[in-house]
């Protein structure tokens, strides 16, 4: 049975009455240039291009840069993005944007690049310190017009209302949350995805799966979030192994990208859960890639939630296998086993080597606090439950039980 908490009701009100638009979507090989053409048609000629040095150095953006130049566009490039970006990274990009009088922002990269670009676009017009923009609905002014091309398929940041940036001093994850952070348009271009290494493809794909499952099992679901989340789950089980092991398969790459987009739209409205609450703290403490942390934690939290969400997990199992027979509890267990089988197929590790027991107390406190204030979880974790998950992740034990 679902556990209703005060945040469940608050999120229900916000999700019902605050409009959350989806960006205009371009999809398929070459869609990056279609997006750029749309940006130019919209009158923007001085964009800040937020990306990482790898994409530039490997020539992956040469076609886009030539297209912009040929069409009289003066792009300013900020390639200082790092995994789990910090306030200092955002400040560096913001200075570049202001110094060059940029009139828009286009992010090409993974979740880190997109999150940093969101905050740069918002801070450029807000004229406030970043700390004043942290939190829910603190961004009052319209950001610079913002466009996105994700080069990983997992974060769903191209369609979400949030950006996560680490405080440079405390290393604590800070959340910027506003519908104003949703980009005007996004492009899902498999040509920019095909060189993503197998391990990263797997980790970010499991991140998208986590988004979809946590949205589907939230106590704050809607018809559209259920539809998007369930479709994303089906697409990921079908196409993520191919995208991981045969990266040049553009059909699989585009399908996984679409799943990530749908999962992002779903959790933006429905919210997340304890997988993210715990993984955010681990990533902040050890700089663990977010997708990898989610992938490792997901089966453990599913086991904890199973008694509360068995009918929902059973629905997902029937969606994947229409011939499935059995009780909700049996099918829910089959679905959890399916998640673990997929993890094994994708070579996701069963443990996180960096996790240290002396940090469990802080991670547990911060994770429970994040979930309590931010997520419509189906079942509330006690401190001992979070610690049990952390112990399992540290020693690689999968089969854990909860009181």
Residue 94 has pLDDT above 50, yes or no: yes
Structure confidence at residue 61 (pLDDT): 94
At 9 the pLDDT is 41
Number of neighbours of residue 41 by Cβ within 10 angstroms: 8
Please report where in the chains the tokens 């970043």 appear, as a residue: 130
Higher pLDDT pick, 387 / 175? 387
- 169 and 280 together in one domain: no
Same domain, yes or no: 88 and 163: yes
**Span 39-58, average pLDDT:** 94
Residue 16 — pLDDT band, cuts 50, 70, 90? Answer: low
Same domain as 372, residue 352: yes
Per-residue pLDDT band for 45 (boundaries 50, 70, 90) equals: very high
Band of pLDDT at residue 3, cut at 50, 70 and 90 = low
Buried b (16+ CB within 10 A) or exposed e, 150-165: bbbbbbbbbbbbbbbb
Is the pLDDT at 50 greater than 90, yes or no?
A: yes
Evaluate if residue 213 carries a pLDDT over 90.
yes
Of 17-21, 128-132, 310-314, 353-357, minimum mean pLDDT range: 17-21
Q: Which residue has the tokens 């401190």?
A: 383
32 C-beta neighbours (distance < 10 Å), count? 23
Task: Using alpha carbons, select from 138, 146, 126, 131 the residue that is nearest to residue 187.
Answer: 146
CATH of the domain at 57: 3.40.50.1970
Which H/E stretch holds residue 333?
Answer: helix 328-345
Name the domain boundary from 170, 188, 206.
Answer: 188
334 and 281 belong to one structural domain: yes
Structural domain of 148:
30-188
Going from the C-alpha of 102 to that of each of 27, 61, 78, 124, the distances in angstroms are 26, 19, 12, 9
DSSP 197: -
How far is the C-alpha of 65 from the C-alpha of 254, rounded, in Å? 23
Residue 326 domain flag: yes
Q: Is residue 298, in this structure, part of any structural domain at all?
A: yes
> What's the DSSP call for residue 52?
B
User: Given phi > 0 = left and psi -120 to 50 = alpha, else beta, which region is 167?
Assistant: beta
Is residue 156 domain-shared with residue 282, that is, in the same domain? no
Instruction: With respect to residue 325, please indicate whether it lies within any of the assigned structural domains.
Output: yes
Neighbours of 56 (CB within 10 A): 16
CB contact set of 207 (below 8 Å; sequence gap of 6+): 154, 155, 290, 291, 294, 295
- Using pLDDT thresholds of 50, 70 and 90, give the confidence band for residue 14: low
Q: What string of DSSP letters covers 287-303?
A: ---HHHHHHHHHHHHHH
Token pair 């089966």 is found at 299
Q: Give the model's pLDDT for residue 111.
A: 86
Residue 4 has pLDDT above 90, yes or no: no
Q: What is the mean pLDDT of residues 45-60?
A: 93
Question: Which residue, of 188, 204, 236, is where some domain finishes?
Answer: 188
Q: Is residue 293 predicted with pLDDT exceeding 50?
A: yes
Q: Is the pLDDT of residue 366 over 80?
A: yes
Residue 10 has pLDDT above 50, yes or no: no
Widest distance between CA atoms in the chain: 64
Return the pLDDT at 2: 54
| One domain for residues 181 and 251 | no
Calculate mean pLDDT across residues 172-191: 92
Total structural domains within the chain? 2
> Are residue 144 and residue 210 in the same domain, yes or no?
no
pLDDT of residue 169: 78
In a domain, 228, yes or no: yes
Residue 293 within a domain = yes
How many angstroms separate the Cα of 230 from the Cα of each of 119, 235, 263?
Answer: 30, 9, 9
Same domain, 262 and 341: yes
- Position 20 in a domain: no
Supply angle C-alpha 116, 91, 32, rounded to 5: 35
Are 181 and 137 a contacting pair, CB within 8 Å? no
Residues 172 and 321 in one domain: no
Question: Is there a single domain that holds both residue 149 and residue 260?
Answer: no
7 touches 372 (CB < 8 A): yes
* DSSP string over 78-130: E-B--SS-BHHHHHHHHHHHHHTT--EEEEEESHHHHHHHHHHHHHHHH-S-G
Task: Kindly report the average pLDDT of the chain as a whole number.
Answer: 92
Count CB atoms within 10 A of the CB of residue 222: 16
Q: What is the pLDDT of residue 287?
A: 85
Q: How far apart are CA 394 and CA 337, in angstroms?
A: 20
Q: Find the mean pLDDT for residues 269-291.
A: 92
- Tokens describing residue 250: 């553009």
Q: Is the dihedral of CA 134, 139, 144, 148 positive or negative?
A: positive
- The residue among 188, 218, 238 that closes a domain is 188
Task: Give the mean model confidence (pLDDT) for residues 93-117.
Answer: 95
**What's the half-sphere exposure (Cβ side, CA atoms, 13 Å) at 125?**
18
Q: Is residue 22 part of a domain?
A: no
Q: Which residues contact 294 (CB under 8 A, 6 or more apart)?
A: 206, 207, 210, 275, 276, 279
Q: What is the pLDDT of residue 399?
A: 77
CA distance 1 to 50: 44
Residue 287's CATH number: 1.20.1090.10
Residue 217 shares a structural domain with residue 177:
no
Residues 266 and 347 in one domain: yes
Is residue 23 one of the residues assigned to a domain?
A: no
């Amino acid at each position: 049975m679902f556990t209703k908490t005060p945040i469940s009701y608050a999120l229900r009100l916000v999700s019902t009455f605050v409009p959350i638009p989806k960006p205009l979507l371009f999809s398929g090989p070459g869609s990056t240039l279609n997006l750029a053409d749309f940006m130019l048609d919209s009158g923007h000629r001085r964009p800040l291009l937020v990306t990482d040095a790898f994409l530039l150095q490997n020539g992956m953006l040469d076609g886009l840069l030539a297209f912009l130049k040929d069409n009289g566009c003066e792009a300013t490039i900020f390639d200082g993005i790092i995994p789990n970006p910090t306030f200092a990274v955002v400040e560096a990009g913001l200075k570049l944007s202001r110094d060059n009088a940029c009139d828009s922002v286009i992010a090409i990269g993974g979740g880190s690049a997109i999150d940093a670009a969101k905050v740069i676009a918002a801070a450029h017009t807000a004229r406030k310190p970043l700390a004043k923009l942290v939190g829910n609905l603190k961004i009052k002014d319209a950001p610079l017009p913002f466009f996105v091309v994700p080069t990983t398929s997992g974060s769903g940041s191209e369609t979400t209302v949030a950006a996560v940036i680490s405080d440079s001093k405390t290393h604590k994850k800070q959340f910027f949350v506003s519908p104003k952070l949703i980009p005007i348009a996004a492009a899902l271009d498999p040509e920019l995805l095909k060189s993503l290494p197998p391990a990263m493809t797997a980790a970010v794909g499991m991140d998208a799966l986590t988004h979809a499952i946590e949205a589907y099992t939230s106590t704050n679901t809607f018809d559209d979030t259920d539809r998007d989340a369930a479709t994303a789950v089906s697409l990921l089980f079908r196409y993520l192994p191919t995208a991981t092991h045969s990266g040049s398969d553009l059909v699989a790459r585009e399908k996984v990208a679409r799943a990530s987009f749908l999962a992002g739209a779903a959790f933006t409205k429905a919210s997340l859960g304890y997988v993210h609450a715990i993984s955010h703290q681990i990533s902040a403490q050890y700089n663990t890639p977010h997708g990898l942390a989610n992938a490792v934690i997901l089966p453990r939290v599913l086991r904890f939630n199973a008694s509360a969400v068995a009918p929902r997990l059973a629905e997902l199992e029937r969606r994947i296998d229409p011939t499935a027979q059995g009780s909700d509890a049996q099918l829910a267990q089959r679905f959890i086993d399916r998640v673990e089988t997929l993890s094994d197929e994708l070579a996701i590790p069963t443990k996180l080597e960096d996790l240290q027991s002396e940090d469990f107390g802080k991670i547990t406190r911060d994770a429970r606090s994040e979930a309590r204030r931010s997520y419509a979880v189906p079942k509330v974790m006690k401190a001992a439950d979070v610690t049990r998950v952390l112990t399992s992740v540290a020693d690689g034990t999968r089969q854990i039980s909860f009181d």
